[in-house]
């Protein structure tokens, strides 16, 4: 039995993640030039990719999802021909970061919410879209949180209908190896006011049959302060207690050093434009010369149009004194990565320049000075470059939108959380910062901390790691059903790797030597979750619980189950 069959049997569509002990060994900067050695767990993920497994990768902000995804893309292009690997994302900004295209443009479905058969007919009539679907062998989709379940089902249906049936059996996604990445606790799909039944991709009918392996990255690299980590994990789930609120209050009206220019984060583009234009205007009126850099786009529509939705601006105006942010990784070891901020101090000519073009020299906040030349962003389909944008990889950074900061790491910023809206926005904003000392709040409204109730929480159980799955020949907890005296019996693979067929057992009510009553049943219970009451007397290697919901003497009963502090994971504690 395949791993996907096991997962289909034992995981409902509400259970998103198969927890792993997957730990990366690098910062989560999505640098394609980062040649850090892969950890054992990273290599195991790539091994699973090499075995052509379809995988869903999730994890909280700062766990290195994008870095891992870039390594996976490289691996896929060695397994298949590059023209058979398609890299996509739910938004133009996300696609921009991984040199891909939007899933809508790849699929040929456009952005309308049309009926499934209308979308299929649209694809069939588009020979380029049809060829993409027929040629693709590995499909990467990033930022899955912004794709609803209806679209996910539609895409899977289109794949099955358009792709040829080779094995005599119609497979999920037409046999495409699917690599999906994202965090459902971050920014949700943008639905145009109407009620969407399947708001998230994990609500799709095809969700659980789409993957062989589900991986949750749990180690955070962006932050190291345990107070901030606990705070963010609570906010990610839409949960706060008095301790969390006190920490956030301490960040309100915190004085900012006069020598530091802190970027402001806003939920709306209009606010960002207003602040950046006002600051640039002050420098302009003081006599500073303005240098204008216009993006140079090449390619055909709609690919060239997609570049306009990325983060590199159509027109960039700079002058000495302008606050800027780097939007592409330049030098990982010097800290010149996506999200690094600094100030323009000069405009200089390249040594080998033939014309009079000058580029900005930026003094970054870490003290590094560097001339920033124009760079390129590409929309790539297999080996073919469909469109390119050449532009200086900087944006004005007196103010930024929360949306455009997704995936970035900021040393410090200032924001007003009382103006955020929707689920996940507070979490996306706060999870950008590296430490509490860098967080400055102008306003804070606890009611703005929201997580969509549909997004399921990680369950308090020991799930098998990738390593265990490999050692168990891709078996799950219940390997098989063996025919026995009492019918089919489960063979259970226990966490300490012992496999055993479990037969029915007996429980007796005894008075003296007399058996008054007998129950015969399998000595097993479902173990994704337990009540604290039923755990009494048990010893658990690890557990996850929310102590803020305990009552009476329940806290002691819960905590005394675990063998060590290393195995204790608290969602909340008040």
Convert the pLDDT of each residue in 81-95 to its tens digit.
999 999 999 887 788
Last residue of a domain, one of 427, 448, 469: 448
- Please determine, for residue 182, whether its predicted confidence score (pLDDT) is greater than 80: yes
390 and 415 assigned to the same domain: yes
Regarding predicted confidence, which is higher, 513 or 320?
320
Q: Which of 207, 231, 232, 311 is nearest to 269 (CA)?
A: 311
Does 278 reside within a domain? yes
Q: Are 60 and 236 in contact (CB under 8 A)?
A: yes
Quick one: pLDDT at residue 280?
94
Sign of the torsion angle spanned by Cα atoms 99, 105, 111, 114: negative
134 and 236 assigned to the same domain: no
- Please determine, for residue 239, whether its predicted confidence score (pLDDT) is greater than 90: no
Mean pLDDT is lowest, of 8-12, 230-234, 507-511, 533-537, for 8-12
87 and 164 assigned to the same domain: yes
Does 455 reside within a domain? no
pLDDT cut 90: percent of the chain above it: 22
Q: Are 100 and 379 in contact (CB under 8 A)?
A: yes
267 and 315 assigned to the same domain: yes
148 and 256 assigned to the same domain: no
Sign of the torsion angle spanned by Cα atoms 112, 114, 117, 121: negative
How far is it, in rounded angstroms, from Cα 482 to Cα 520?
Answer: 18
**Residue 267's Cα: distance from chain center in Å?**
20
Question: What value does the CA radius of gyration of the chain take, rounded to a whole number of Å?
Answer: 26
How far is it, in rounded angstroms, from Cα 540 to Cα 543?
Answer: 7
Give the per-residue SS3 of 472-522.
CCCCCCEEEEEEECCEEEEEEECCCCCEEECCCEEEEEEECCEEEEEEEEC
Does 516 reside within a domain? no
141-171 pLDDT tens trace: 999 998 999 999 999 999 999 987 765 667 8
| Distances from the Cα of 377 to the Cα of 99, 210, 293, angstroms | 7, 31, 15
155 and 296 assigned to the same domain: no
Does 17 reside within a domain? yes
Q: Around Cβ 268, how many Cβ atoms within 10 Å?
A: 13
Last residue of a domain, one of 448, 474, 489: 448
Q: Are 323 and 279 in contact (CB under 8 A)?
A: yes
Six token digits for residue 57: 């990768």
Helices (H), 292-422: 303-308
Q: Which of 140, 126, 13 is nearest to 86 (CA)?
A: 140
246 and 297 assigned to the same domain: yes
- Please determine, for residue 96, whether its predicted confidence score (pLDDT) is greater than 70: yes
360 and 273 assigned to the same domain: yes
Quick one: pLDDT at residue 79?
94
- Please determine, for residue 14, whether its predicted confidence score (pLDDT) is greater than 70: no
- Cβ density class 208-222: b for 16+ within 10 Å, e for less: bbbbbbbbbbbbbbb
User: How many domains is the chain built from?
Assistant: 2
pLDDT cut 70: percent of the chain above it: 80
Regarding predicted confidence, which is higher, 377 or 497?
377
Sign of the torsion angle spanned by Cα atoms 28, 29, 33, 35: negative
Eight-state DSSP code of residue 30: -
Does 486 reside within a domain? no
Quick one: pLDDT at residue 539?
80
- Cβ density class 164-203: b for 16+ within 10 Å, e for less: eeeeeeeebbbbbbbbbbbbbbbbbbeeeeeebebbbbbb
8 and 136 assigned to the same domain: yes
- Cβ density class 274-312: b for 16+ within 10 Å, e for less: ebbeebbeebeeeebeebebebebebeeebbebbeebbb
- Cβ density class 22-50: b for 16+ within 10 Å, e for less: bebebbbbbbeebeeeeeebbebbbebbe
Six token digits for residue 547: 């102590």
278-313 pLDDT tens trace: 999 999 999 999 999 999 988 877 777 777 767 788
Does 431 reside within a domain? yes
Q: Are 98 and 66 in contact (CB under 8 A)?
A: yes
Q: Which residues pair with 59 in a beta bridge?
A: 217
Q: Which domain holds residue 124?
A: 3-217
- Please name the residues in contact with 367: beta carbons below 8 A apart, sequence gap of 6 or more: none
| Distances from the Cα of 149 to the Cα of 23, 277, 425, angstroms | 29, 39, 21
208 and 233 assigned to the same domain: no
- Model confidence at 322, pLDDT cuts 50, 70, 90, reads very high
- Model confidence at 214, pLDDT cuts 50, 70, 90, reads confident
Q: Would you call 435 exposed, middle or buried from its count of C-beta atoms within 10 A (0-12, 13-18, 19+)?
A: middle
Does 409 reside within a domain? yes
- Please name the residues in contact with 42: beta carbons below 8 A apart, sequence gap of 6 or more: 22, 24, 25, 68, 71
Backbone φ and ψ of 100, nearest 5°: -115, -160
Quick one: pLDDT at residue 502?
80
Transcribe 331-342 into DSSP letters: BGGGTB-TT-EE
270 and 304 assigned to the same domain: yes
How far is it, in rounded angstroms, from Cα 485 to Cα 476?
Answer: 24
12 and 160 assigned to the same domain: yes
What's the whole-number average pLDDT of the chain?
A: 79
- Look up the CATH number of the domain holding residue 88: 3.40.50.300
| Distances from the Cα of 516 to the Cα of 67, 509, 511, 519, 522, angstroms | 63, 5, 7, 11, 20
Last residue of a domain, one of 448, 474, 505: 448
- Please determine, for residue 16, whether its predicted confidence score (pLDDT) is greater than 50: no
How far is it, in rounded angstroms, from Cα 513 to Cα 307?
Answer: 82
Does 474 reside within a domain? no
């Amino acid at each position: 039995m395949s791993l996907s069959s096991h997962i289909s049997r034992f995981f409902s569509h509400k259970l998103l993640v198969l927890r792993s002990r997957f730990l990366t060994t690098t910062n989560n900067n999505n640098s394609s030039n980062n040649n850090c050695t892969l950890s054992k767990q990273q290599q195991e993920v790539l091994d699973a990719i090499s075995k052509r497994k379809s995988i869903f990768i999730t994890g909280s902000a700062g766990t290195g999802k994008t870095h891992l995804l870039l390594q996976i893309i490289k691996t896929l292009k060695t397994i298949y021909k590059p023209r058979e690997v398609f890299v996509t994302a739910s938004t133009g900004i996300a696609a921009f970061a991984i040199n891909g295209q939007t899933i809508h443009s790849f699929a040929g479905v456009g952005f309308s919410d049309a009926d499934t058969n209308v979308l299929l007919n649209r694809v069939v009539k588009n020979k380029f879209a049809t060829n993409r679907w027929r040629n693709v062998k590995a499909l990467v989709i990033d930022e899955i949180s912004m794709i609803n379940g209806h679209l996910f089902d539609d895409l899977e249906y289109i794949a099955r209908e358009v792709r040829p049936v080779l094995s005599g059996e119609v497979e999920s996604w037409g046999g495409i190896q699917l690599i999906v990445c994202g965090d459902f606790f971050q920014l949700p799909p943008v639905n145009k006011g109407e009620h969407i039944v399947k708001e998230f991709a994990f609500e799709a009918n095809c969700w659980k049959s789409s993957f062989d392996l589900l991986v949750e990255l749990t180690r955070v690299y962006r932050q190291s302060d345990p107070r901030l980590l606990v705070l963010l994990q609570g906010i990610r789930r839409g949960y706060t207690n008095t301790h969390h609120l006190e920490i956030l209050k301490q960040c309100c009206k915190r004085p900012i050093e006069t020598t530091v220019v802190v970027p402001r984060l806003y939920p709306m583009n209009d606010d960002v434009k207003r602040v950046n234009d006002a600051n640039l205007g002050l420098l302009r009126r003081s006599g500073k010369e303005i240098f204008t850099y216009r993006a140079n786009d090449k390619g055909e529509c709609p690919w060239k149009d997609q570049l306009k939705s990325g983060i590199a601006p159509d027109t960039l105006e700079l002058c000495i004194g302008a606050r800027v942010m780097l939007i592409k990784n330049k030098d990982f070891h010097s800290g010149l990565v996506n999200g690094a901020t600094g100030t323009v101090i000069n405009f200089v000519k390249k040594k080998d320049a033939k014309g009079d073009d000058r580029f900005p020299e930026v003094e970054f906040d870490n003290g590094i000075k560097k001339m920033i030349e124009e760079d390129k962003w590409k929309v790539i389909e297999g080996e073919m470059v469909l469109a390119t944008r050449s532009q200086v990889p900087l944006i004005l950074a007196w103010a930024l939108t929360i949306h455009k900061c997704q995936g970035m790491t900021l040393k410090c910023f200032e924001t007003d959380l009382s103006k955020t809206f929707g689920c996940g926005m507070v979490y996306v904003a706060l999870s950008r910062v590296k430490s509490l000392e860098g967080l400055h709040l102008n306003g804070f409204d606890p009611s703005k901390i929201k997580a969509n109730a549909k997004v399921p929480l990680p369950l308090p159980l020991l799930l098998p790691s990738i390593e265990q799955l490999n050692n168990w020949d891709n078996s799950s907890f219940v390997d098989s059903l063996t025919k026995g005296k009492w019918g089919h019996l489960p063979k259970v693979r226990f966490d300490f790797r012992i496999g055993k067929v479990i037969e029915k057992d007996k429980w007796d009510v005894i008075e003296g030597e007399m058996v008054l009553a007998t129950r015969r049943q399998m000595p097993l219970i479902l173990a994704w979750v337990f009540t604290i009451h039923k755990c009494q007397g048990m010893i658990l290697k690890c557990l996850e619980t929310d102590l803020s919901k305990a009552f009476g003497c329940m806290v002691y009963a819960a905590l005394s189950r675990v063998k060590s502090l290393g195995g204790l994971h608290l969602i909340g504690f008040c």
